């Protein structure tokens, strides 16, 4: 069905069996401080904490071929030269297999009786990446082969590296020791960190100058030194420093040799930067002690095996927090393995570094990371706590938020714009999710200064209230929230009026005193009110709970009065007070986001508007590949609507299928009780299902892509922007909380599934507040929803919340739907 590969669920791996995938299919290495992206042909790069400011290896964007530069190996076997990861030489392999696993990638390449297996991973607690290499002679003859390991250094700041050649062609410096190359560019001046590339075995040569190893006119597919059969032992001084080790191997028939390379990052305190007594003219000698320590600790294969086993245990342990047994294999592998893995990736990297995000432009997004937390609070409560505080600390004292912060400095910046009026409202959602999961409400009293008032004595609770009040204080003529620069839909720039070619829509100026309003923010506000009310109740602050619910009722009223268009919710009012997303509009008549959020905010639940809105979504927006963002697509540029009309029809926010907002409709359908529809939508964007149409879909079938081309595009069903998307967290919320319906709350787990009637049942094993809940749900009458009977350790209970105090460490819950 899929000629490029298949899932191996037992090993939690995706197995790629052909290197020429429709696009590079990526994986991530690292889960703490040291990260890398790696493609199925070993392309990609590594960085320490921040893909922009601490980039270790160089990547070439938008190049031919697309995925250029990586962790490359070369083999020379007689006169035959080839790469075991296919690229960069692309000589035909007798066998190729890439296994992307959780935090590691293993690639096997075999040619002419030599099989090379390389496993890449980042050991826990370390700031280095291992390439664990095995070379086997599968032929009946003795063989002498040469192996080169190659990387190209990035001169730290990835932006400067890619643009400031007048300076950076003259800054590159390295130091070489036996088996280790140290990249020390700018270490002589203000940096206290360097990188290294080391070999576990003695080498037959090295190169550190790209011009010497590759040549000026040659490509990575035929480096001069590999063609010639020997390294030149070059020492880079400016230009493009690289790291290459040459290893000569004699292999008898059937013999395997194992070795490894490390790419590492090390720091020294300022007063220990240089080795005493080793200052040479023109070159200070860096203090290598921290790198040497790591190299010594990881010197042999048993240390590498132990580090890998530890990583495997880490993931097995994480995924043991939530396990589902469900009748559908696609749902099963997504919810148990890949969706949770992708959620961890978005926690780590927000929208910074992927095949579609350069690692230069964006750091940790305020709205993005708050939403990402919804998918990981059950996996990483401590890190979620810290992240919430970091995010809240980039809120300003007027309630607005820096739209992103740089992971290395944790300082917010306005580089990708600001004034997005939805931003503040995502904080109540993430804080509530954290508290519901952990029960830890001490976080509310945590001191959290404002970004513009670092000495403020404000608490997290102050930030939450400021966020809610921000929306209330910034309403327009229809009593709906002002949109500001844009809301979740970054491209709905109702105040931008940009006519300058190339100007960033995200940053272009906003007109003063604009009245443009967002119905989506109104719905989101209602949902945030519910979270705030629950938080107040938990603190015993009933009056405040009642007050916030009164504000919600007010907003619901405004939506019902001014935000309803007859068959669906309007999307917005533009700066002139004209409706956006209305039957009166010629194009962009119905949008998805306001339907999702108004329903999730409880609007129209009593008078049927919610149901009508979702039926309109189905009628006007649903396709077999997911739900389109709006219809009809905008065929021309509208200055009053901004970037949304800048894309060709069918792409991105202009009527593309934005999978992120599809999940809100899944949740909404489940909320209203249509489990079959919720599942149909879930499967319509499910990556694993896309194996059936992979030549069209093209992106990785194991993780969500941000968008799929809509029917207005020439390539409907083609995915883009895989990996770093809010779809990850929200899909996990949709499936685990709304469809399978086990939702953490301050009072305990709430059980309220909404499944397809054809499902006979399912089971969930979930850790929660120190206990393991084994929940078995039966559906004898083939319904979607409705808990009829629930027993907890044999005891029948009223309602559908499992009380916290019931049961021991392992709690058995039996649920029957009616």
CA dist 783 and 312 (Å) reads 39
**490 in active site:** yes
> Which listed option, ligand NOJ, ligand BGC, none, makes contact with residue 710 (CB within 5 to 8 Å by class)?
none
Q: Which stretch binds ligand NOJ (CB under 6 A): 97-105, 161-169, 482-490, 557-565?
A: 482-490
Shortest Å distance, C-beta 607 to ligand BGC: 34
Structure tokens at 141: 């003859």
- Beta strand pairing call for 630-631 and 590-591: antiparallel
CA dist 742 and 745 (Å) reads 10
Count of CB atoms situated within 10 Å of the CB of 457: 9
| Residue 368 binding ligand NOJ, by CB under 6 A | yes
> Which listed option, ligand BGC, ligand NOJ, none, makes contact with residue 368 (CB within 5 to 8 Å by class)?
ligand NOJ
The number of residues making up the chain comes to 818
Task: Please calculate the CA angle 460-493-625 and round it to the nearest 5 degrees.
Answer: 90
> Which listed option, ligand NOJ, ligand BGC, none, makes contact with residue 488 (CB within 5 to 8 Å by class)?
ligand NOJ
Helix (H, G, I), strand (E, B) or coil at 254: coil
Structure tokens at 668: 């909404």
Write down the catalytic residue from 132, 368, 490, 565. Answer: 490
Q: What H or E segment, with its residue span, contains residue 751?
A: strand 748-751
Question: Are the C-beta atoms of residues 57 and 154 closer than 8 Å to each other?
Answer: yes
CA dist 758 and 192 (Å) reads 61
Closest CA to 548 of 561, 535, 563: 535
| Residue 752 binding ligand NOJ, by CB under 6 A | no
> Which listed option, ligand BGC, ligand NOJ, none, makes contact with residue 336 (CB within 5 to 8 Å by class)?
none
Shortest Å distance, C-beta 160 to ligand BGC: 21
> Which listed option, ligand NOJ, ligand BGC, none, makes contact with residue 367 (CB within 5 to 8 Å by class)?
ligand NOJ
| Whether the bond into 721 is cis, omega within 30 of 0 | no
Query: Quick one: how far is CA 46 from the chain centroid?
Result: 16
Shortest Å distance, C-beta 661 to ligand BGC: 11
> Which listed option, ligand BGC, ligand NOJ, none, makes contact with residue 47 (CB within 5 to 8 Å by class)?
none
> Which listed option, ligand BGC, ligand NOJ, none, makes contact with residue 87 (CB within 5 to 8 Å by class)?
none
| Residue 653 binding ligand BGC, by CB under 6 A | yes
| CB-nearer residue toward ligand BGC: 231 or 520 | 520
**Of 338, 341, 356, 488, the one binding ligand NOJ by CB under 6 A:** 488
Question: Are the C-beta atoms of residues 685 and 628 closer than 8 Å to each other?
Answer: no
| Residue 491 binding ligand BGC, by CB under 6 A | yes
| CB-nearer residue toward ligand NOJ: 435 or 617 | 617
CA dist 10 and 329 (Å) reads 12
The separation between the first and the last C-alpha atoms of the chain, rounded to the nearest angstrom, is: 38
| Residue 652 binding ligand BGC, by CB under 6 A | yes
| CB-nearer residue toward ligand NOJ: 311 or 668 | 668
Instruction: Print the binding letters for residues 389-428 with ligand BGC: x by CB under 6 A, - otherwise.
Output: ---------------------------x------------
**198-202: which pairs have CB atoms within 8 A and are 24 or more residues apart?**
198/261, 198/262, 198/264, 198/291, 198/295, 199/149, 199/245, 199/247, 199/259, 199/260, 199/261, 200/259, 200/260, 200/261, 200/262, 200/298, 200/299, 200/300, 200/301, 201/247, 201/259, 202/178
Instruction: Name the packing angle between helices 593-600 and 519-538 (round to 10°).
Output: 30
Please list every residue from 34 through 73 that binds ligand BGC, using CB under 6 A: none
| Residue 571 binding ligand NOJ, by CB under 6 A | no
| CB-nearer residue toward ligand BGC: 161 or 643 | 643
What backbone torsions phi and psi does residue 478 show, to the nearest 5 degrees? -100, 15
Instruction: Print the binding letters for residues 346-365 with ligand NOJ: x by CB under 6 A, - otherwise.
Output: -----x-------------x
**Of 490, 565, 574, 669, the one binding ligand BGC by CB under 6 A:** 490
| CB-nearer residue toward ligand NOJ: 49 or 367 | 367
| Residue 367 binding ligand NOJ, by CB under 6 A | yes
Instruction: Print the binding letters for residues 489-508 with ligand NOJ: x by CB under 6 A, - otherwise.
Output: xxx-----------------
Shortest Å distance, C-beta 491 to ligand BGC: 5
Shortest Å distance, C-beta 724 to ligand BGC: 11
| CB-nearer residue toward ligand BGC: 97 or 643 | 643
> Which listed option, ligand NOJ, ligand BGC, none, makes contact with residue 437 (CB within 5 to 8 Å by class)?
none
Residue 389 gets the label, from left (phi > 0), alpha (psi -120 to 50) or beta, of alpha
E strands, 40-125, where? 44-48, 55-57, 72-77, 80-82, 95-101, 104-111, 114-121
| Residue 660 binding ligand BGC, by CB under 6 A | no
> Which listed option, ligand NOJ, ligand BGC, none, makes contact with residue 506 (CB within 5 to 8 Å by class)?
ligand BGC
| CB-nearer residue toward ligand BGC: 240 or 725 | 725
Shortest Å distance, C-beta 489 to ligand BGC: 8
Question: Are the C-beta atoms of residues 596 and 664 closer than 8 Å to each other?
Answer: yes
> Which listed option, ligand BGC, ligand NOJ, none, makes contact with residue 161 (CB within 5 to 8 Å by class)?
none
| Residue 653 binding ligand NOJ, by CB under 6 A | yes
Q: Is the dihedral of CA 517, 523, 525, 526 positive or negative?
A: positive
CA dist 126 and 103 (Å) reads 14
Shortest Å distance, C-beta 504 to ligand BGC: 8
| CB-nearer residue toward ligand BGC: 232 or 350 | 350
Task: Say how many CA atoms lie within 13 Å of 1 toward its Cβ.
Answer: 9
Question: Are the C-beta atoms of residues 688 and 333 closer than 8 Å to each other?
Answer: yes
Count of CB atoms situated within 10 Å of the CB of 5: 24
| CB-nearer residue toward ligand BGC: 103 or 424 | 424
| CB-nearer residue toward ligand BGC: 487 or 490 | 490
Shortest Å distance, C-beta 355 to ligand BGC: 15
| Residue 485 binding ligand NOJ, by CB under 6 A | no
| Residue 129 binding ligand BGC, by CB under 6 A | no
| CB-nearer residue toward ligand NOJ: 54 or 367 | 367
| CB-nearer residue toward ligand BGC: 593 or 653 | 653
Please list every residue from 373 through 392 that binds ligand BGC, using CB under 6 A: none
Count, residues near ligand NOJ per rule CB under 6 A: 9
What backbone torsions phi and psi does residue 194 show, to the nearest 5 degrees? -140, 170
CA dist 642 and 545 (Å) reads 38
What backbone torsions phi and psi does residue 754 show, to the nearest 5 degrees? -140, 95
Continuous H helices in 563-704: 593-600, 609-620, 659-672, 675-684, 694-697
CA dist 302 and 308 (Å) reads 10
| Residue 754 binding ligand BGC, by CB under 6 A | no
Closest CA to 720 of 651, 646, 665, 661: 651
Q: Which residues bind ligand BGC (CB under 6 A)?
A: 416, 490-491, 506, 643, 652-653
Q: Which residues are catalytic?
A: 490
Q: Which residues bind ligand NOJ (CB under 6 A)?
A: 351, 365, 367-368, 488-491, 653
């Amino acid at each position: 069905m899929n000629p490029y590969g298949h899932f191996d669920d037992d090993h939690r791996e995706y197995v790629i069996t052909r290197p020429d995938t429709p696009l590079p299919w990526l994986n991530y290495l690292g889960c703490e401080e040291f990260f890398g992206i790696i493609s199925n042909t070993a392309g990609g790069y590594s960085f320490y904490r921040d893909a922009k400011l601490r980039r270790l290896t160089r990547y070439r964007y938008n190049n031919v071929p697309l995925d250029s530069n990586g962790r490359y190996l070369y083999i020379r076997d007689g006169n035959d030269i080839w790469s075991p990861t296919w690229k960069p030489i692309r000589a035909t392999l007798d066998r190729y297999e890439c296994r992307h696993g959780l935090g590691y990638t293993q690639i096997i390449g075999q040619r002419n009786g030599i099989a090379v297996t390389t496993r890449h991973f980042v050991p826990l607690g370390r700031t280095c990446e291992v390439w664990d290499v095995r070379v086997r002679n599968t032929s009946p003859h003795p063989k002498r082969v040469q192996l080169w390991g190659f990387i190209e250094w990035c001169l730290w700041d990835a932006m400067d590296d890619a643009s400031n050649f007048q300076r950076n062609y003259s800054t590159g410096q390295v130091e070489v020791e036996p088996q280790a190359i140290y990249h020390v560019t700018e270490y002589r001046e203000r940096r206290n960190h360097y990188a290294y590339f080391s070999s576990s075995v003695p080498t037959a040569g090295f190169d550190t100058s790209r011009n010497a190893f590759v040549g000026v006119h040659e490509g990575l597919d035929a480096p001069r030194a590999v063609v010639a059969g020997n390294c030149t032992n070059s020492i880079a001084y400016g230009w493009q420093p690289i790291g290459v080790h040459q290893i000569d191997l004699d292999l008898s028939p059937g013999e395997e040799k194992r070795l490894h390379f490390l790419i590492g990052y090390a720091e020294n305190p300022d007063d220990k930067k240089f080795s005493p007594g080793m200052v040479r003219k023109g070159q200070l000698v860096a203090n290598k002690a921290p790198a040497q320590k790591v190299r010594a600790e990881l010197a042999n294969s048993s240390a590498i095996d132990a580090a890998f086993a530890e990583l495997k245990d880490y993931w097995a342990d994480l995924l043991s927090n939530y396990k589902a047994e469900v009748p559908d294999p696609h749902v099963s592998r997504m919810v148990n393995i890949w969706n949770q893995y992708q959620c961890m990736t978005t926690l780590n990297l927000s929208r910074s570094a992927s095949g579609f995000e350069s690692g230069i432009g964006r750091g940790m997004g305020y709205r993005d990371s708050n939403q990402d937390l919804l998918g990981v609070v059950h996996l990483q409560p401590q890190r979620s706590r810290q992240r919430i505080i970091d995010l809240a600390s980039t809120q300003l004292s007027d309630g607005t938020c820096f739209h992103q912060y740089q992971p290395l400095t944790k300082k917010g910046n306005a580089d990708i714009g600001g004034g997005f009026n939805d931003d503040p409202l995502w904080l109540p959602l993430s804080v509530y999710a954290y508290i519901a999961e952990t029960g830890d409400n001490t976080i509310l009293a945590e001191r959290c200064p404002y970004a513009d008032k670092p000495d403020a004595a404000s608490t997290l609770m102050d930030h939450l209230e400021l966020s809610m009040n921000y929306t209330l204080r910034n309403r327009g003529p229809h009593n709906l929230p002002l949109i500001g620069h844009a809301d979740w839909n970054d491209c709905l720039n109702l105040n931008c009026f940009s006519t300058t070619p190339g100007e960033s829509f995200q940053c272009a100026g906003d007109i003063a005193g604009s009245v443009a309003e967002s119905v989506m923010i109104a719905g989101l506000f209602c949902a945030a009110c519910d979270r705030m009310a629950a938080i107040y109740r938990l603190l015993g602050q009933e009056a405040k709970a009642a007050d916030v619910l009164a504000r919600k009722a007010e907003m619901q009223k405004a939506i019902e009065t001014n935000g309803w268009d007859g068959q669906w919710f309007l999307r917005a009012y533009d700066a002139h007070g004209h409706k956006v997303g209305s039957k009166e509009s010629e194009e962009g008549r119905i949008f998805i986001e306001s339907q999702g959020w108004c329903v999730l905010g409880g609007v129209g639940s009593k008078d049927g508007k919610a149901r009508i809105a979702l039926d309109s979504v189905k009628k006007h927006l649903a396709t077999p590949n997911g739900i389109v963002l709006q219809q009809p697509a905008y065929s021309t540029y509208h200055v009053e609507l901004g970037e949304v009309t800048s894309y060709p029809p069918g792409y991105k926010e202009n009527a593309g299928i934005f999978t992120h907002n599809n999940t809100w409709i899944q949740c909404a359908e489940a909320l209203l009780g249509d489990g079959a529809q919720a599942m149909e939508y879930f499967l319509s964007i499910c990556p694993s299902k896309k194996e059936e149409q992979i030549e069209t879909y093209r992106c990785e079938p194991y993780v969500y892509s941000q968008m799929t081309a809509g029917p207005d595009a020439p390539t409907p069903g083609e995915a883009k922007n895989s990996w770093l998307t809010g779809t990850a967290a929200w899909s996990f919320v949709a499936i685990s909380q709304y469809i399978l319906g086990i939702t953490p709350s301050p009072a305990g787990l709430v059980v309220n599934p909404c499944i397809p009637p054809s499902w006979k049942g399912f089971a969930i094993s979930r850790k929660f507040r120190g206990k393991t809940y084994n929940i078995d749900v039966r559906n004898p009458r083939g319904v979607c929803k409705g808990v009829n009977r629930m027993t907890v350790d044999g005891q029948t209970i009223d309602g559908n919340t499992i009380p916290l105090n019931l049961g021991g460490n392992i709690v058995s819950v039996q649920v029957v739907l009616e």
